[in-house]
């Protein structure tokens, strides 16, 4: 886990989040939506966040993440939940922060997902979601992480993996508003962006 090639990405993403919000790590129960193998959850816990949950609909990734996280953290500090983002089996207001990297453009029903976020996020809590390597990642680190990612995905193949496009930020902001969130910032990240919203108090 500690040697995972994308760990620097989550370090800088978390710094971006903290700079744009009043989040206090030691008081924050976070959830990573579509977080795969749990690297962002690992980083949040390592940085002193109160608790963190991983939600992903890939049962194999959830199992692997749970096994890895158990090596480093007490079980009461994290959850690994095999579920869809539109139906997270937790209590209302379970979290005061949701994060998601390179997952939201795969969600087939964004309005339903944001209504579920409104249910599980406490008033005043935040959602920080986007795509890319983070707006504050230094360019030298970005280049090396990007190269490692493409090598892992494609090896020596020239075939490129096509992913769905991201929704325009203006449309996403409207969906978030209808679910009870106000847009705090849209942060450009090269060809992508990061969306920060806060649930109405």
pLDDT tens, residue order, the chain (201 aa): 555 445 788 999 999 999 999 999 999 999 999 999 899 999 999 999 999 999 999 999 999 999 999 999 999 999 999 999 999 999 999 999 999 999 999 999 999 999 999 999 999 999 999 998 888 887 878 777 666 654 454 455 555 557 888 999 999 999 999 999 999 999 999 889 999 999 999
pLDDT of residue 149: 59
pLDDT of residue 138: 78
Which residue shows structure tokens 């490129």? 160
Which residue shows structure tokens 């075939």? 159
pLDDT of residue 153: 44
Model pTM?
0.90
pLDDT of residue 142: 72
Domain 7-199: CATH class, spelled out: alpha beta
pLDDT of residue 66: 95
Q: Which two tokens stand for residue 13?
A: 């993403």
Give the torsion sign (CA, 120, 117, 37, 27). negative
Domain locations in the chain as residue ranges? 7-199
pLDDT of residue 5: 40
């Amino acid at each position: 886990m500690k040697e995972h090639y994308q760990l620097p990405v989550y370090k800088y993403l978390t710094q971006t989040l903290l700079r744009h919000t009043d989040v206090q790590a030691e008081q924050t129960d976070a959830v990573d939506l579509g977080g795969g193998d749990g690297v962002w959850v690992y980083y949040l816990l390592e940085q002193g966040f109160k608790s963190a949950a991983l939600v992903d609909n890939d049962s194999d990734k959830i199992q692997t993440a749970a096994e890895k996280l158990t090596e480093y953290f007490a079980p009461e500090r994290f959850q690994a939940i095999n579920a869809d983002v539109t139906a997270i089996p937790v209590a209302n207001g379970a979290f005061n922060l949701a994060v998601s990297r390179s997952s939201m453009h795969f969600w087939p029903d964004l309005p339903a997902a944001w209504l579920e976020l409104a249910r599980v996020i406490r008033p005043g809590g935040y959602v920080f979601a986007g795509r890319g390597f983070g707006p504050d990642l230094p360019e030298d680190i970005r280049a090396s992480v990007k190269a490692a990612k493409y090598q892992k995905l494609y090896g020596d193949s020239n075939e490129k993996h096509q992913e769905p496009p991201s929704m325009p930020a203006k449309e996403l902001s409207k969906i978030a508003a209808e679910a009870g969130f106000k847009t705090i910032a849209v942060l450009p990240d090269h060809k992508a962006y990061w969306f920060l919203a806060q649930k109405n108090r």
